Amino acid sequence: MQRIYFLNAMDRNVFFKEIKCCPNLKKWKNIANFLGISKTTLEYYRNGKYCMPEDNFTKLLNTLGDYKRALFLRLVRKKPKNWGCTLGGKKTAFLYPKILEKGRYTAWKKKKKQLKYNFDPNMPLSENLCEFVGVIIGDGFTSKYSGAYQTQITGDGNLDQHYYYNFLKSVCEKLFNITPKIHKKDNTIRLNIYSKKLFEILTKRFGIPPGKKCYNVKIPEEIIKAEKKFLNSTIRGMFNTDGGIGFDRRNTYKKPYIRINYSSASKKLINQLNSILSKYQIPYSLHKRKSKYYINSHITYMIQINGESNVKKFLSEIGFSNNRHLHKLEYLIKN
């Protein structure tokens, strides 16, 4: 059975407050009995320590009216029941990279001989090419295993499907004469391309580090020095994948307060974005924290664009082309 989680803690708190307002569910003990669970387990659901089983969430949701049911359904996402095992696998990959490398090498050995695609590695810059490079900076990586050259982009299997199938697939076909392999499993979607030429374009021409790039990736100098539209397309690709839109729904604000954010462990990349946003006169705030997802609690940086007027400046200069973000903006306009 799938697990349910809220996109932010504030929405989760509001949900449980609404449940507690229901007749016969005025106390946490009553809610726990209603679900057939302990008060401790309910507390874990309330504070986000545990994701809620889908049947328990549905049972609580059915105590609310139609409007509130529809609202809260938009504020949650699903995880597969084995998502914890998947997370454990990622942590193992960080701790034992050589074992992971050996496994990948064994898999690639079984692949057919590397395909050769016909395209010009020195093709002129275009907005599509630059957005593709931005996507690689955000959620992509390149690797070489024996004779196999791989470029992979990874995203959310539920939210990014439209962008992968309708934009990225089309760009690969037009620019590189390649139809990429796209696979969706559970909550993850992956786009794979096996091409030495593409690998060399990304690593040699644009200088994107092969393998683990999170600490030192940056926007290529060729794009920094090019026309503004090419730089904007690159940043758009980055925000389409590694960026996010959030709403602060606290009572302090008359309406949901919008924020756009971008996170990275690469100080070089963040410094470039600082300079570009300042040049565009787009106000932002910069935050840094130690992240548990990186080795030795490496510092991650987050750029945050706050408020409707500043978000509008960002949209007019750069914008989004991923439906996952466009739908959130549409929701803000409607409400």
pLDDT for 183-231, tens place per residue?
988 889 999 999 999 999 999 999 999 988 888 999 999 999 999 999 9
Confirm whether 136 is domain-assigned. yes
**Which of 196, 213, 230 delimits the end of a domain?**
213
Confirm whether 328 is domain-assigned. yes
* 149 and 269 co-located in one domain: no
DSSP letter string, 77-126: EEE-TTHHHHHHHHHHHHH-HHHHHHHHHHHHHTSPSPP-----TTPPP-
* 193 and 165 co-located in one domain: yes
* 44 and 13 co-located in one domain: yes
* 208 and 247 co-located in one domain: no
Cα distances (Å, whole numbers) of residue 312 to 240, 259, 305, 315 = 16, 11, 10, 5
Number of domains comprising the chain: 3
Where is pLDDT greater, at 328 or 198? 198
Where is pLDDT greater, at 52 or 104? 52
The token pair that represents 70 in the structure block = 């529809």
Q: Which of 115, 239, 237 is nearest to 168 (CA)?
A: 237
C-alpha–C-alpha distance, residues 255 and 196, integer Å: 50
Place 107 in a pLDDT band, splitting at 50, 70 and 90.
Answer: low
State the pLDDT at residue 7: 87
pTM above 0.85, yes or no: no
Mean pLDDT for the stretch of residues 60-71: 88
Identify the H or E element spanning 304.
Answer: strand 299-306
State the pLDDT at residue 26: 86
* 117 and 169 co-located in one domain: yes
State the pLDDT at residue 146: 73
State the pLDDT at residue 91: 64
Any residues with CB less than 8 A from the CB of 288 and at least 6 apart, and which? 299, 300, 301, 302
* 102 and 194 co-located in one domain: yes
Confirm whether 224 is domain-assigned. no
C-alpha–C-alpha distance, residues 154 and 74, integer Å: 23
| 193: helix, strand or coil | strand
Mean pLDDT for the stretch of residues 231-251: 91
Place 88 in a pLDDT band, splitting at 50, 70 and 90.
Answer: low
Mean pLDDT for the stretch of residues 286-311: 79
Mean pLDDT for the stretch of residues 297-309: 86
* 195 and 309 co-located in one domain: no
DSSP letter string, 9-54: HHHHHHHHHHHHTSTT--SHHHHHHHHT--HHHHHHHHHTSSPEEH
Rounded to 10 degrees, the C-alpha dihedral 197/224/263/301 comes to 120
CB 238 within 8 A of CB 262: yes
C-alpha–C-alpha distance, residues 38 and 204, integer Å: 57
Q: What is the mean pLDDT of the chain?
A: 86
Q: Which of 35, 11, 235, 25 is nearest to 132 (CA)?
A: 235
CATH number at 257 reads: 3.10.28.10
* 59 and 101 co-located in one domain: no
The token pair that represents 172 in the structure block = 């690969």
Query: Is the confidence at residue 93, as pLDDT, over 70?
Result: no
Confirm whether 164 is domain-assigned. yes
Percent of the chain whose predicted confidence (pLDDT) is above 70: 85
* 166 and 244 co-located in one domain: no
Confirm whether 169 is domain-assigned. yes
Where is pLDDT greater, at 62 or 87? 62
State the pLDDT at residue 23: 84
CATH number at 29 reads: 1.10.260
Start-end of H helices in 145-260: 161-163, 169-176, 196-200, 221-224, 228-242
Confirm whether 218 is domain-assigned. no
Place 86 in a pLDDT band, splitting at 50, 70 and 90.
Answer: low
Mean pLDDT for the stretch of residues 105-124: 67
Mean pLDDT for the stretch of residues 294-299: 60
Confirm whether 38 is domain-assigned. yes
State the pLDDT at residue 2: 83
State the pLDDT at residue 114: 45
Q: What is the pLDDT of residues 255-277, one digit of tens each?
A: 888 899 999 999 999 999 999 99
State the pLDDT at residue 82: 63
Confirm whether 257 is domain-assigned. yes
State the pLDDT at residue 92: 63
Question: Which residues form the domain of 262?
Answer: 239-334
* 194 and 307 co-located in one domain: no
| Number of neighbours of residue 288 by Cβ within 10 angstroms | 12
* 91 and 66 co-located in one domain: no
The letter for the amino acid at 52 is M
* 110 and 186 co-located in one domain: yes
